[in-house]
């Protein structure tokens, strides 16, 4: 079996069809991923590794590395404008895709559905262009290539609950690495964007002395510290604050109340300027 995955940007192949590609290449299929753009208009997640001028090359190399991990043998990037795929000459895009189809001769073609996953204009454009290229390709030969669209069912999953329940299996001093925090941040952003989870995810900064969590309030948010330190304090009957723990980068707080569906059992106060990645049930209202 020969599988062609046609998408708009490097990384589309992973969240749309990564599992499918890995499964079938492991079973002996030959696969190719083609990206219509190099993703050079995307967000720069690590400014020490790349700049706006070099981002296209960086993302192309990341695409090759991702495809190697998935077992995909062939990778190709076209040079259409990232963020402007819906405005290009669609006939030229279709012909470029058709040339790839002629060269690779796939049995199966994967791409976005007409909704573009979540409405991204580049995703919508590559969907329609791929569909038309496959239609022309199939009209020229007796054995047709099967076209499959990526589908993203909306889930009721909440990362705030999944993470809280997982954290309850760890001890209070459990700490994650910065690499984990970066990956979690990207995963959370993509999961909510694709409607895989229903959380509201945000990043907030707190000055020294700020009460991030108040004892006795409703538990509706999970925090992980990206920078700074916080003090966990419990208020005694007489009003004194008794120190429980000091937490730093890579440590979570707020999971106990969420996991047990109870009010907060302690204060959490910024000991110094602190930044947190936060998972909430819904977007806060003023």
Residues 144 and 169 in one domain: no
Q: Does residue 256 belong to any structural domain of this protein?
A: yes
Tokens 């940007």 correspond to 9
Residues 30 and 98 in one domain: yes
Q: Does residue 239 belong to any structural domain of this protein?
A: yes
Tens-place pLDDT, residues 189-240: 888 887 788 889 999 999 999 999 999 999 999 999 999 999 999 998 878 8
Least confidently predicted of 49-53, 67-71, 75-79: 49-53
Domain tally for the chain? 2
pLDDT of residue 236: 85
The CATH number of the domain holding residue 57 is: 3.40.50.10320
Question: Which structural domain, as residue segments, surrounds residue 9?
Answer: 2-150
Residues 140 and 204 in one domain: no
Q: Does residue 286 belong to any structural domain of this protein?
A: no
Percent of the chain with pLDDT over 70: 99
Report, as an integer, the average pLDDT of 250-262.
95
Q: What is the mean pLDDT of the chain?
A: 93
């Amino acid at each position: 079996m020969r599988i062609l995955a046609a998408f708009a940007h490097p990384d589309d192949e992973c969240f749309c069809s990564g599992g499918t590609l890995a499964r079938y290449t492991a079973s002996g299929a030959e696969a190719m991923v083609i990206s219509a753009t190099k993703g050079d208009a995307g967000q720069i997640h690590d400014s020490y590794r790349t700049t706006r001028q070099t981002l296209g090359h960086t993302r192309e190399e990341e695409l090759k590395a991702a495809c190697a991990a998935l077992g995909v043998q062939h990778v190709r990037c076209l040079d259409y404008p990232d963020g402007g795929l819906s405005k290009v000459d669609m006939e030229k895009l279709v012909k470029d895709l058709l040339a790839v189809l002629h060269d690779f001769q796939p049995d199966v073609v994967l791409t976005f559905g007409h909704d573009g996953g979540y409405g991204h204009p580049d995703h919508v454009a590559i969907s329609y262009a791929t569909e038309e290229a496959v239609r022309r390709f199939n009209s020229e030969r007796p054995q047709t290539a099967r076209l499959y669209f990526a589908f993203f069912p909306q889930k009721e999953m909440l990362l705030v609950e999944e993470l809280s329940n997982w954290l309850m299996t760890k001890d209070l001093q459990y700490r994650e690495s910065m690499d984990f925090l970066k990956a979690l941040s990207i995963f959370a952003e993509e999961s909510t964007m694709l409607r895989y989870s229903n959380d509201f995810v945000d990043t907030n900064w707190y000055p020294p002395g700020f009460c991030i969590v108040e004892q006795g309030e409703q538990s509706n948010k999970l925090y992980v510290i990206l920078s700074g330190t916080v003090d966990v304090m419990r208020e005694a009957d007489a009003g004194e604050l008794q120190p429980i723990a000091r937490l730093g980068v890579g440590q979570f707080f707020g999971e106990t109340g969420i996991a047990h569906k109870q009010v907060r059992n302690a204060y959490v106060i910024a000991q110094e300027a602190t930044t947190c990645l936060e998972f909430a049930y819904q977007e806060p209202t003023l």
